[in-house]
A and B are shown apart, each in its own frame.
Chain A
């Protein structure tokens, strides 16, 4: 089972993903923004990062960018529901270009999350 860092500014989404992952036997750490996520990544070195893309302060694309610039090969699963000025499919595609190994459009079902994790960890 893996240690997974979940970064999302929505409390409910963090809680939901945590419960889904813990039910599946994974260990979960959560962060409510990109900056906190990067700090926890350095401290805990998780096996997988699941990050939202549109967040206040430091957004998910920047998180992916900084991690990949440091040549960290931790797999990243990017999730997004789109935003006012940003289309969901476009930002998810861009996150792949930045180095996300798998993408997950919101809203998702439990099985869709699990499938995306399998892809990210493969």
Chain B
């Protein structure tokens, strides 16, 4: 806003002159206050950045001293610096307020998200019983009808579609329930990442005929603590998304390695294992990246995605004390997305003791119940 800028500068310079030539102390105080208000207003409206205001202030002093060479520069500076100091303090305070406001908004957003998840959970638990009974009838009777029809019957294919859809509905109910609960009820145990990933690859291979999965491990063994099935679900969800991103044709690279990078270890612990799942799909634009872990957010066509897959992955990784990082390229010919999951590593040397401790705790708990 150059117009506002120039006007403020001129007005500010005039005020500083009025401070110097004020007829009495009261008038001087008033001009000083007015200069301070003008500067503070400009700063709070973001009309002028703080460093420019300092420059304006210095210019005003220089201009004034050139016009009045008989006055000592240090006296002028001494007198005129007051509004600048006060403005800086006010600016600092407002900057802090802004930070606090942003922090509060961020917290509110997290809170809203957790309320939303809670609502999904309550809804899912509430409908699960009725829904599961209904689905049981739909799946079972469709199967019976399917088996009773000869291959020539055109209705046979329609019934197969009903079956496919109802099995997807079964998965959806189960996913919603998983999203709603933090713990699966089963105790955590030591999980061999390499064998878990291999079993998921077999599953994906059956589903995706035109897809190739390259799996490499930079470590001979990789153990983490998780609940049975958690790792499989995380990897499976990410592989399904990768396959969708490449329209079910291409290569998914899965790599595991131990990591010592500070970026990866933040909040995870001293040693961690990093699982990278990369695709050569279309990539995720930055504005979409912020939302991909939100429940019900999906870029898939209606009916193709529930928007729950990545939010379940995110929640599970957090439950495991890990982090998930996304890096995506939408331009430059090297399109694709890398999901990096960083999980706390079970130290081989300390493994015996921690596992023994867990087992005895679990036994004690079971004896109590």
Contact = CB atoms under 8 A, between A and B. Distances in A.
B143 A13 contact: no
Interface string A89-122: 1100100000000000111111000000000000
A13 B135 CA distance: 10
Contacts, number: 73
B129 A82 contact: yes
B133 A10 contact: yes
A20 B144 contact: yes
B200 interface: no
Contact of A108 (B126, B139, B185): B139
Given A20-B144, A89-B185, A110-B144, A81 B137 contact: no
A12 B133 CA distance: 9
Given A109-B143, A110-B144, A88 B136 contact: no
Interface string A13-45: 100110110010000000000000000000000
Interface residues of B, dominant DSSP: helix
Contacts of A85: 125
Contacts of A81: 128-133, 136
Contacts of A109: 139-140, 143, 167
B125 A82 contact: yes
B122 to A, nearest CB: 10
A16 B140 contact: yes
B125 A89 contact: no
B362 interface: no
Nearest to B167: A109
A78 to B, nearest CB: 14
Interface residues of B, number: 26
Given A13-B133, A81-B128, A107 B170 contact: yes
A81 B181 CA distance: 16
B144 A107 contact: no
B103 interface: no
B140 A84 contact: no
Contact of A23 (B125, B144, B166, B177): B144
Contact of A110 (B128, B135, B140): B140
B184 interface: yes
Nearest to B186: A89
Interface of B: 125-126, 128-133, 135-141, 143-144, 147, 166-167, 170, 177, 181, 184-186
Interface of A: 10, 12-13, 16-17, 19-20, 23, 54, 81-85, 87-90, 93, 105-110
Which 5 interchain pairs have the tightest Cβ spacing? A81-B132, A107-B136, A107-B135, A16-B140, A12-B137
